[in-house]
Amino acid sequence: MRITIFVTALLMSTLTGIGMAADTTAGQITTAADEFLAAFAKAQSGEGFAVEYDSGSLDPRLSLATCDSPLEVSFSGDPWKTTQPSLQISCEGSRPWRMFLPVSVNITGDAMVAARPLGRGERLTPGALRTDTVVVNAIRRGAITSEDQLVGMEMRRGINAGTVFTPDLLLAPAAIERGDHVIISARSGNFSVNSRGKALASGGIGEQVLVENLSSSRTVRARVTAPGRVEIPM
């Protein structure tokens, strides 16, 4: 989730003794980062995730040009895929600048894990799944948090009980198996003609497979649109 907030009151420029605006300090930048991360944590708590963060520290001698507009803070990468993201902090005022601040973020919540050892090619059922509390963004390939994304999928390889499910472990089941009889739709706009055929290869929805048209004995390449149905352009 990408959040951008504008930090206002804490980043108002202060006047020096000679009436000139002070530079933007390390303390102001750190405060801006903390405010941003606090907002991110609050947003995720509403979705059932707990966020712990540390904005680190900057050299207190750091001083950047005075920003005459609110500082903008955002993640420079996806915080759901790393515990060490960076924040981009920028000024879009008359003297623009930007900098990157490494921070530490742990997002803890429920993810789907294997309830028992699973074998390669096994079709997933609700009984093979359970939830466990993990640091979600420490799973670099992306932890799956919804049972709906798993039921009916096939295992690409075997895993042990307790393994967190990630997209690379899964295969979409074939909608058509080699040798299946299928309906071939030849479509042009709203007009289509159907014929019967036989799949010469297995494929999932959206994939292209070779199909034999049983009426003409011609072999055509068609896109799988649903179980038992393929489509070719006219």
CATH of the domain at 204: 2.30.30.760
* 68 plus 115 within the same structural domain: no
Per-residue confidence (pLDDT) for residue 171, from 0 to 100: 86
Same domain? For 13 and 92 the reply is yes
For 112-144, give one letter per residue: b (16+ CB within 10 A) or e: bbbbeebeeeeebeeebbeeeebbbbebeebbb
Q: Are 223 and 205 in contact (CB under 8 A)?
A: no
Of 86, 102, 118, which closes a domain? 102
Measured distance CA(50)–CA(78) in Å, rounded: 17
151 located within any domain: yes
CA distances from 128 to 24, 78, 150, 169 (A): 55, 30, 10, 14
98 and 72 together in one domain: yes
Domain's final residue, options 85, 102, 119: 102
User: Are 81 and 33 found together in one domain?
Assistant: yes
Give the residue from 148, 171, 194 where a domain finishes: 171
Q: How many helices (H) and strands (E) does the chain have?
A: 1, 16
Give this prediction's pTM: 0.65
The pLDDT value given to residue 190: 75
Q: Give 125's contacts (C-beta < 8 A, 6+ positions apart).
A: 151
- Inside any domain, residue 33: yes
Q: Are residues 96 and 11 in the same domain?
A: yes
176, part of any domain? no
Q: Total structural domains in the chain? A: 3
Residue 48 falls inside a structural domain: yes
- Residue 16 within any structural domain of the chain: yes
What is the DSSP secondary structure assignment for residue 15, as one 8-state letter?
Answer: B
Please check whether residue 37 is in contact with residue 101, taking contact to mean a CB–CB distance below 8 angstroms. no
Q: What is the CATH number of the domain that holds 132?
A: 3.90.1210.10
Q: Which residues contact 217 (CB under 8 A, 6 or more apart)?
A: none
Same domain for 93 and 46? yes
- Please enumerate in sequence order all residues whose Cβ is within 8 A of that of 234, keeping only pairs 6 or more positions apart, or say none: 186, 187, 188, 191, 193
Q: Are both 159 and 196 inside the same structural domain?
A: no
Within 10 angstroms of residue 159's Cβ, the number of other Cβ atoms is 20
152: left (phi over 0), alpha (psi -120 to 50) or beta: left
pLDDT of residue 14: 33
Helices (H), the chain: 26-45
pLDDT tens string, the chain, 234 residues long: the values are 444 433 333 333 333 333 344 578 888 899 899 999 999 999 999 999 999 999 888 888 888 888 888 899 999 989 998 999 999 999 987 889 999 999 999 999 999 999 999 999 899 999 999 999 999 999 988 899 899 999 989 999 999 999 999 999 998 888 888 999 999 998 877 778 899 999 999 888 888 999 999 988 899 999 998 889 999 987
Query: Does 131 map to a domain?
Result: yes
Q: Which domain holds residue 214?
A: 181-233
Whether residue 87 is found in the same domain as residue 113: no
DSSP of 94-118: SS-EEEEEE-EEEEEEEEEEESS-B
In a domain, 135, yes or no: yes
